[in-house]
Amino acid sequence: MDLSNENVIHVKKNGIEYLQFRRLLEYKDKIKHAYTLGINNDFRTSTPEKKKLSEEKYNKNINTYKTFFKGIGEDYTKIVKPNQDHTDEIKIVNSKINPDKPDFDVKEYDRADGLITNKKDIILETTNADCILLLFYDPVKEVIANTHSGWKGTIQRISVKTVKKMKNEFDCNPEDIICCICPSIRKCHFEVDRDVKEMFENEYKDLKNDQLCDIMQEKIPNEKWNIDTVLINKIILQKAGLRRENIIDSGICSVCNSDIIHSFRVEKQGYGLNAAFIEKPS
């Protein structure tokens, strides 16, 4: 299987597979990035102390990190990862907390779902199994960000809050910011009940009627709706000042491609995680 399309390249080398955005590759001398593939690779990092993974499973996942980063010629100990609690909190990263190992499960990022930095040699990571991951890059100010936006994060407009923080903290101009949307669940499979549908309706009353029609589709009368969270993020990012041509969508559904991309809706209990990385190397 090859997931390459007009916006992404499916890379297969050194025994690993990952996606890269063609647009970000235009800046390959300035940034590195990747979105992992492979259903046998799990990038979950909850430590045994937090009792979310057995020590055996944790060590296996750490070996997955080591193998992947060896394959791309990078040092996995440079990773900084938010703990992802479906919030709208975005943290600025000025330095690593753990000098000799990845910043996994550190309390400074307990409720964070997005990270921003202008520092070099810090790898920002987020993980998903259907949720949206957003890679941001401002080539003028040389600022990067990595944000996790599940449906709760989308309701809280975390993507726009990332842009605002880049603007406020680093003087970024939204017109310069590039945002790349990684594989995620799409409208074809994101089916919700009335309570979630009404949450989206209440939050996005500012959108035009035709936009709402594109976002929500009634699947079962008065019972089920399919919602396009990717389109929502595209619309609100444009309203936040990003240029349409700077919002790059992978166009890939995690559910439709669950044989190579982890999907919670397909795998259910014991689901694995994909990972997105972005870095400014020295």
pLDDT in tens, 179-232: 999 999 999 999 999 999 999 999 999 988 889 889 999 999 989 999 999 999
Task: Give the range among 2-16, 51-65, 79-93 with minimum mean pLDDT.
Answer: 51-65
Strand partners, 118: none
Q: How many residues does the chain have?
A: 282
Please tell me what DSSP assigns to residue 27: T
Please tell me what DSSP assigns to residue 76: G
Give the H or E element holding residue 164: helix 158-170
What the block records as the tokens of 113 is: 């779902």
pLDDT in tens, 20-44: 999 999 999 999 999 999 999 999 9
Q: Which residue, 136, 132, 120, is CA-closest to 21? A: 136
Place 68 in a pLDDT band, splitting at 50, 70 and 90: very high
The residues spanned by each domain of the chain are 8-187+245-279
Place 136 in a pLDDT band, splitting at 50, 70 and 90: very high
> How far does CA 76 lie from the centroid of its chain?
18
CATH number of 8-187+245-279: 3.60.140.10
Model confidence at 53: pLDDT above 90: no
pLDDT at 14: 92
pLDDT at 208: 84
pLDDT at 270: 87
| Contact status, residue 177 vs residue 147, Cβ threshold 8 Å | no
pLDDT in tens, 154-183: 999 999 999 999 999 999 999 999 999 999
Q: Which residue, 70, 187, 76, 88, is CA-closest to 134? A: 88
Place 50 in a pLDDT band, splitting at 50, 70 and 90: confident
What angle do the packed helices 158-170 and 229-239 form, to 10 degrees? 30
Question: Ramachandran region of residue 165, left (φ > 0), alpha (ψ -120 to 50) or beta?
Answer: alpha
